Amino acid sequence: MSEPKGTLLVVEDDPGLQKQLRWSFDAYEVLIANDREQALAHLRRREPAVVTLDLGLPPDADGTSEGFATLEQILGLAPDTKVIVVTGQHDRVNAVKAIGMGAYDFYHKPFEPDLLGLVVERAMRLHDLQLENRRLRTKQASTPLQGIITSDAEMTKLCRTIEKVAPSSASVLLLGESGTGKELLARAVHQLSSRAAKRFVAINCAAIPDNLLESELFGYEKGAFTGAAKQTKGKIEYADGGTLFLDEVGDLPLPLQAKLLRFLQERVLERVGGRQEIEVDVRIVSATHQDLANLIKTDRFREDLYYRLSEIAVHIPPIRDRQGDAALLAHAFLEKFGREMSRSLRGFTAEAIAAIEAHPWPGNVRELENCIKRAAIMAESNQITLADLGLKVTEPEIGPLNLRQVREEAERKAVVRALGRAGGNVMQAAELLGVSRPTLYDLINRYGIR
């Protein structure tokens, strides 16, 4: 991969030095300026990443006034440009003054290509990182839903879907691994609906013991059971006019599934121990990390309830399947925590970003957010390093070495791919694989493919 060359502007009035610098920086695109006017002309036209600036410029070649005036104008025009001030041998005072004005670094003559080369290279890298940071930030600003950060095409499409369905009263089922943003999207559905001014009531079906869940959802009348001291509304009634978020709905016990289904069909409920039918108008959004199709197959989830809950079903991809999201989210969280902790945190080292991109993030955005938070606290400098993240750099998986396992794995993959390509048509898939239909059925059974 050939990267575009960085642009270096050399402001130097000595023709001999000009030549030498051009020659020793041939890795960059080098622009040369003899004086302030030429320097500013180049700057406006080309926005070089890095400038080396000789302080002794004509008409004040033996002093520094023209050099400082040039520095000031460069920084005014292009504050992102990294200016390396080149001074006389023992000229500390002016070097310090230049840094104070906003120069990136200084370099004392005489000119040594290797040394100056290192300073320039570092400046180039910093400049690129800052550009990258800015690019990520603007990208984040153009996200289709407020508070949801993504650059992934599928996620963006999904946000559009949410925008479209939010104003309707359709039930929305959000499917995705833990930490993928299900609750965040559920709130977005509410906020973008005409119910936004009313309540958003969330209940986590997995977190409440089965025997309490019914009264939590439906409420109870005084004396309905021991401890029912007074009439109490349930979450459903509480959400009247608004949105009810049933989190981890896959964990809802079967008897309650039946009761919830009845409510969804008739839109009236009875509190526990009550007789009176109460009409409630709620929009249902539910979520689960479980494989509902599998729960239905094994009779742990009612199919009819599934259809009621999933008028719109949305699959949220895990981070590892999203393009560029890990780095984007990491930058966004770093900025957020930096702000909260009043620390000026300037991004990540290249190594740290590479590790963030390579990590599989089984806990998705929640895990990533916690990791960055910890790093923001631990970081000793204003740039997050690999060590601050505490991530293990995982070796690419080698997989099994046992030949039988390798063969079986390859076989299973080939069958899945062939079936995929044939759109599930077994006859066609068998043809693609060069086996008979019965053989393919055998393979499908052996590997439990559906």
Ligand X SMILES: Nc1ncnc2c1ncn2[C@@H]1O[C@H](COP(=O)(O)OP(=O)(O)O)[C@@H](O)[C@H]1O
Question: Total binding residues for Mg ion by CB under 5 A?
Answer: 1
- The string of DSSP codes covering 164-226 is HHTTS---EEEE--TTSSHHHHHHHHHHTSTTTTS-EEEEETTTS-HHHHHHHHHEE-TTSST
Angstrom CA distances, 85 to 6, 56, 89, 149, 212, stand at 18, 10, 12, 39, 71
Contact 372, 340 (CB under 8 A): no
| Residue window 87-126: x/- pattern of binding to ligand X, with contact defined by CB under 6 A | ----------------------------------------
Report the first-to-last Cα separation within the chain, whole angstroms: 41
- 331 in contact with ligand X (CB under 6 A): no
Strand partners, 147: none
Q: Does position 311 bind Mg ion by CB under 5 A?
A: no
Minimal distance, residue 143 CB to Mg ion, in Å: 20
Of 183 and 409, CB closest to Mg ion: 183
The 10 Å CB-count burial string (b at 16+, else e) for 353-389 is: bebbeebebebbbebbbebbbebbeebeeebbbbebb
Determine the residue type at 436: S
Q: Which is nearer to Mg ion, 183 or 408 (CB)?
A: 183
CB of 206 to ligand X, least distance (A): 11
Write the DSSP symbol of residue 49: S
- 3-state per-residue secondary structure call for 241-287: CCEEEEECHHHCCHHHHHHHHHHHHHCEECCECCCCCEECCCEEEEE
Which pairing describes strands 232-233 and 278-279: parallel, antiparallel, or unpaired?
A: unpaired
Task: Answer for the pair 218, 259: CB distance below 8 angstroms, yes or no.
Answer: yes
Q: Which does 366 bind (CB under 5 to 8 A by kind): ligand X, Mg ion, none?
A: ligand X
Among 130, 169, 178, 385, binds ligand X (CB under 6 A): 178
- The piece of 42-50, 145-153, 196-204, 384-392 that touches ligand X (CB under 6 A) is 145-153
Question: Taking a C-beta distance cutoff of 8 angstroms, is the pair 339, 152 a contact?
Answer: no
157 binds, among ligand X, Mg ion, none (CB under 5 to 8 A by kind): none
Distance CA 68, CA 87 (A): 11
DSSP assigned state of 147: T
Residue 151 lies near ligand X (rule: CB under 6 A): no
What character string, x for contact with ligand X (CB under 6 A) and - otherwise, covers 343-382? ----------------------xx--x-------------
Q: In the set 60, 121, 183, 240, which binds Mg ion (CB under 5 A)?
A: 183
Question: What is the size of the binding site for ligand X (CB under 6 A)?
Answer: 14
Q: Which is nearer to ligand X, 50 or 334 (CB)?
A: 334
Query: Binding of Mg ion at residue 431 (CB under 5 A)?
Result: no
385 binds ligand X (CB under 6 A): no
The position carrying tokens 């320039």 is: 120
Of 6, 48, 67, 181, the residue at the interface with ligand X (CB under 6 A) is: 181
- Smallest gap from Cβ 309 to ligand X, in A, equals 16
Q: Is 60 in the site for ligand X (CB under 6 A)?
A: no
Fill in the per-residue mask, 183 to 202: x = in contact with ligand X (CB under 6 A), - = not in contact.
Answer: xx------------------
Of positions 70, 180, 193, 232, contacts ligand X by CB under 6 A: 180
270 touches Mg ion (CB under 5 A): no
* Chosen from Mg ion, ligand X, none, partner binding at 369 (C-beta under 5 to 8 Å by type): ligand X
317 lies in the site for ligand X, by CB under 6 A: no
- Is residue 367 a contact residue for Mg ion (CB under 5 A)? no
Report how far residue 88's alpha carbon sits from residue 2's, in angstroms, rounded to the nearest whole number.
Answer: 37
**Site residues, Mg ion (CB under 5 A):** 183
Q: What residues make contact with ligand X under the rule CB under 6 A?
A: 148-150, 176, 178-184, 365-366, 369
